[in-house]
Structure 1
Amino acid sequence: MKKYIALLRGINVSGQKKIKMAELKETLASAGLQNVQTYIQSGNVIFESEESSEEAANRIEGAIYKAYNFDVPTLVFEQNYLQNVIDQNPFLSKVDDPKKLYAIFLYDDLTQEGLDRLASAELGGDEYAIVDGVVYTCYHNGMGKAKMDINFIEKKLMVRATSRNWRTVNLLSQH
């Protein structure tokens, strides 16, 4: 049995696609996932399954659509992958406050056109680095004042993505 993390995109944000975590946990357990846990309201699920990550993502998306009648793009990866994400963050030694750090996980492949669009964008003093398909961001003035938010990243890179703050990434890696 493999331990997985699922990142659900766009639930419980600005009153859209509302899902109570207790209901989500029950929905996914009923769909056949084992030892389902949720972490905070933004769509983080820890579970076990014999399936591949792609099969588990499809199972989760199908169960959510059946229960709530809306699509929720879902990324699933083995839990140990998050340790790689943590180890590869190029900004860890450059900031004193981890609240300035985020990881953006991509649902789609990067294109050179998207990379060029992001490289030429004005970032308002913030920084990013892309390592193994994860966009690491450093918001020097805090996320609340950032120009380079998730919508900006998605538009420039021409991808769908989901973002997690650094605290959440670390906590999910430890569950």
Structure 2
Amino acid sequence: MTRYVAFLRAVNVGGTGKLPMSELRAMCESIGFTNVRTYIASGNVVFESKLTEASVKARLERCLEIYAGKPVGVLVRTGAELVAVVDGNPFGAAAPNRTVAIFLDAPPPADALSHVSGQQDEEIALGTREVYVHYSNGIAHSKLKIPAVRTGTARNMNTVAKLAEWATD
């Protein structure tokens, strides 16, 4: 069994994509995932499965589309991969609530940073299948746009660290 973490895109953010975490847990169990736990109400779920990452993603996205009536993106990492995201954070000395990992399905393009707009004081770095951003003045007033991450989903490093802990304990 592999322990996975799934990050759902646009769930319970800004009044859109309402999904009670009890429903998410039930969905995951209904498609055969075990030891299912959710973390905060923004679409984070830790579970075990014998399936490959691609199969986990496909099954969960299919189930969520039936529930929501529209596609819901899912980004998946193993526990070990999530630990590597925490360890690979180039902004580890910065406030974890002002630093995010934006999870992607594939490695970010090598030229991803050359297409950024609206950058002010934000620091950006490419990861394996994520992009790290440190918002030194907070995210609320940022005008930063990173086209390469439009299909990704961001979590602050406090959340990433807690999920990495859950996925490896």
Fold match (TM-score > 0.5):
yes
- Matched residue pairs, number? 166
- TM superposition outliers: structure 1 runs of 4+ over 6 Å: none
Equivalent residue letter for 1:110: P
Is 1:59 the counterpart of 2:59? The answer is yes
Say which of 149, 154, 157 aligns to 2:148. 157
Say which of 102, 105, 118 aligns to 1:104. 102
8 Å CA contact 1:108–1:160 kept in 2: the answer is: no
For residues 114-170 of structure 1, give each alpha carbon's deviation from its aligned partner in whole angstroms, at most 9, with x where no partner exists: 44212xx3411111111223211111111222222xxx22xx326411000110000
- Counterpart of 1:137 in structure 2 is 133
Alpha-carbon spacing, 1:113–1:128, altered in 2? closer, same or farther (3 Å): closer
For residues 64-95 of structure 1, give each alpha carbon's deviation from its aligned partner in whole angstroms, at most 9, with x where no partner exists: 122332211111121111111111111113x2
Aligned Cα root-mean-square deviation (Å): 1.7
- Counterpart of 1:76 in structure 2 is 76
- Counterpart of 1:26 in structure 2 is 26
Structure 2 unmatched runs, 5+: none
Structure 1 unmatched runs, 5+: none
CA distance in 1, matches of 2:109, 2:82: 24
- Counterpart of 2:39 in structure 1 is 39
Percentage identity across aligned positions? 35
8 Å CA contact 2:101–2:133 kept in 1: the answer is: yes
When normalised by structure 2's length, the TM-score is: 0.90
Task: Give the deviation of 1:37 after TM superposition.
Answer: 1.0
CA distance in 1, matches of 2:75, 2:64: 14
SS class of match (2:48): strand
- Counterpart of 1:172 in structure 2 is 163
Q: In terms of mean alpha carbon deviation, does 104-113 or 46-55 score higher?
A: 104-113
Task: Give the deviation of 1:113 after TM superposition.
Answer: 5.5
